[in-house]
């Protein structure tokens, strides 16, 4: 089975992040197990489209959403491209496949009012825990960085004198992010709290009270806990803070290319996704402000 070779290729050649590698591996192993359970010739690299279609039906029967299934098929498509590249196969069984139709839903970012409320000092406990958790939330919103980027942020990459952070993004691409005065004050407070812990030096800027790396779950749970206090929105995640960062910039007239650079997107198409929320806001303002807006 060529799956380990494919994962190694993604890791060393494509420089994919660890959580992305795990997602690819999980998707491919799921298909491999389905083939082993249902077909005599079980190797995924020998699969035909009928087997893949049967897997799709199986996934639907299990309650998977079309969006989730499309992501799994995308992993499989990338795998077959690798097999073509290495001349293991001569044609991809997915050559004629069309993605499942999905309902287009515009993610609703947090409002500026919700952001203001979640940074209310009264929400946070005193001491290390409150300082760490508030600093995490402020850093995510004020910079728009990804959760993985925050977790792996290096101490040497934080330069408060120059007012900038150096972030290592997807595929090891570095970018500089400005630090606004409000965030600078919070980061200084965090650094003072770290100094009081008197821990051995660690290269990681953010860590727990023992100096250990923060988990993805801890960051997610922190965002969810505090936004549950101020927001009734269904989706509360670190990515929604990134989404809010981009939407609020665009709502206030920021250039799309500038937002693209701040987010670390490889193409403008990825950034344009956030203009959907901005346009929804613009339409709402227009309808409320236009003298004929409430007639339709």
Q: Which of 113, 169, 183 is nearest to 141 (CA)?
A: 183
274 assigned to active site: yes
Among candidate residues 58, 170, 233, 235, the one labeled active-site is 170
CA–CA distance from 284 to each of 110, 114, 279 (Å)? Answer: 15, 18, 9
239 assigned to active site: yes
Name the CA dihedral angle for 199, 206, 209, 237, rounded to a multiple of 10 degrees. 180
Among candidate residues 72, 77, 243, 265, the one labeled active-site is 265
Among candidate residues 80, 124, 141, 274, the one labeled active-site is 274
* Helix 238-251 × helix 256-263 angle, to 10°: 160
Handedness of CA 80, 85, 86, 91 (dihedral sign): positive
286 assigned to active site: no
Among candidate residues 242, 243, 248, 260, the one labeled active-site is 242
170 assigned to active site: yes
How far is 285 from 288, CA to CA, in rounded Å?
A: 5
- Please name the residue that has the structure tokens 């937002």: 259
How far is 176 from 19, CA to CA, in rounded Å?
A: 23
147 assigned to active site: no
Among candidate residues 134, 146, 207, 248, the one labeled active-site is 146
- Residues annotated catalytic, as ranges: 146, 170, 239, 242, 265, 274
């Amino acid at each position: 089975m060529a799956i380990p070779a494919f994962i190694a290729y993604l890791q060393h050649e494509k420089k994919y992040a660890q959580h992305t590698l795990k997602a690819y591996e999980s998707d491919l192993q799921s298909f491999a197990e389905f083939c082993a359970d249902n077909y005599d010739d079980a190797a995924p690299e020998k699969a035909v489209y009928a087997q893949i279609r049967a897997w799709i039906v199986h996934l639907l029967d299990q309650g998977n959403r079309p969006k989730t299934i499309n992501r799994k098929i995308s992993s499989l498509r990338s795998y077959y491209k690798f097999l073509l590249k290495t001349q293991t196969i001569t044609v991809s069984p997915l050559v004629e496949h069309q993605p499942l139709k999905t309902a287009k839903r515009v993610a609703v970012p947090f409002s500026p009012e919700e952001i203001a409320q979640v940074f209310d000092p009264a929400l946070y406990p005193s001491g290390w825990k409150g300082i760490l958790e508030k600093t995490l939330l402020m850093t995510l919103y004020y910079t728009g960085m990804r959760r993985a980027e925050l977790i792996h942020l290096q101490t040497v990459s934080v330069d408060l004198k120059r007012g900038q952070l150096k972030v290592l993004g997807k595929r090891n691409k570095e970018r500089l992010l400005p630090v606004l005065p409000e965030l600078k004050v919070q980061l200084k407070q965090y650094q003072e709290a770290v100094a009081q812990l008197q821990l051995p030096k660690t290269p990681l800027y953010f860590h727990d009270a023992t100096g250990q790396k923060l988990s993805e779950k801890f960051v997610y749970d922190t965002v969810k806990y505090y936004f549950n206090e101020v927001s009734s929105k269904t989706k509360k995640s670190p990515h929604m803070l990134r989404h809010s960062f981009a939407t609020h910039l665009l709502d206030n007239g920021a250039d799309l290319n500038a937002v693209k650079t701040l987010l670390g997107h490889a193409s403008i198409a990825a950034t344009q996704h956030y203009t959907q929320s901005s346009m929804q806001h613009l339409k709402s303002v227009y309808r409320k402000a236009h003298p004929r807006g409430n007639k339709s």
